[in-house]
A and B are shown apart, each in its own frame.
Chain A
Amino acid sequence: NAGVTQTPKFQVLKTGQSMTLQCAQDMNHEYMSWYRQDPGMGLRLIHYSVGAGITDQGEVPNGYNVSRSTTEDFPLRLLSAAPSQTSVYFCASSYSYRVGSYEQYFGPGTRLTVT
């Protein structure tokens, strides 16, 4: 198993540009999520999904969209990039949201800089 994969590893955007961060997992996990990591602030939840076709907002959803058309993929879209979205983005997945198996597996991250 490759686990959780993310592309690209690094990205530089200009203010106002849009882009999609890709996330895929090959563990047949039901639950997937996106976090951003900023210095001194830990990881903050952006959006999450409890299964294909189901998504919901986390703590900091503004400026981001997600969709979950398959179990494997959970892309994160930045609609109009802003410097405040400069961060490291992590995708994570978990076997199930419901049955108490909460261990989340994290991808290697995407470092995004918005100028």
Chain B
Amino acid sequence: GENVEQHPSTLSVQEGDSAVIKCTYSDSASNYFPWYKQELGKGPQLIIDIRSNVGEKKDQRIAVTLNKTAKHFSLHITETQPEDSAVYFCAASKGGQLTFGSGTQLTVLP
């Protein structure tokens, strides 16, 4: 089955700096790659996603890049703010079922 690895497990950045979280996947048939943000005590919430026919997607301060050849994808957050502090999960899917990475605890220091 699919295996998704996510790095780093924790990340601290100064407010205003950029944050990058990286994931690799094993199944070349995977075609959908969402990123979820989970705040303390809440369920994960989709923040951005990308499909395999696209190399990059942006939404304001958030961007995701996909390299199908290398089977890795990354989340980029620019101009980080304290409210960006949360756990971020990547996931991969080839048909509805999601396989999640282990999560990254992002802390934005004021």
Contacts and interface: CB of A to CB of B under 8 A. Distances in A.
- Residue from A44, A94, A106 with most neighbouring chain B CB atoms (10 Å): A106
Interface string A79-98: 00000000000101010011
Interface string B29-61: 000101010000111111001000000000000
A82 B49 CA distance: 36
A42 B43 contact: no
B96 A45 contact: no
Interface of B: 1, 4, 6, 9, 32, 34, 36, 41-46, 49, 89, 93, 95-103
Interface string A29-47: 0010101000011111100
Interface residues of A, number: 28
A58 B97 contact: yes
A42 B36 CA distance: 11
Contacts of A90: 43-44
A39 B9 CA distance: 11
A75 interface: no
A94 B97 CA distance: 10
Q: Which of B96, B97, B103 has the most CB atoms of chain A within a 10 A radius of its CB? A: B96
A26 interface: no
Contacts of A31: 96
20 contacts: A31-B96, A40-B9, A42-B100, A42-B101, A43-B98, A43-B100, A48-B96, A48-B97, A59-B1, A90-B43, A97-B96, A102-B49, A104-B34, A104-B46, A104-B98, A106-B43, A106-B44, A108-B41, A109-B41, A109-B43
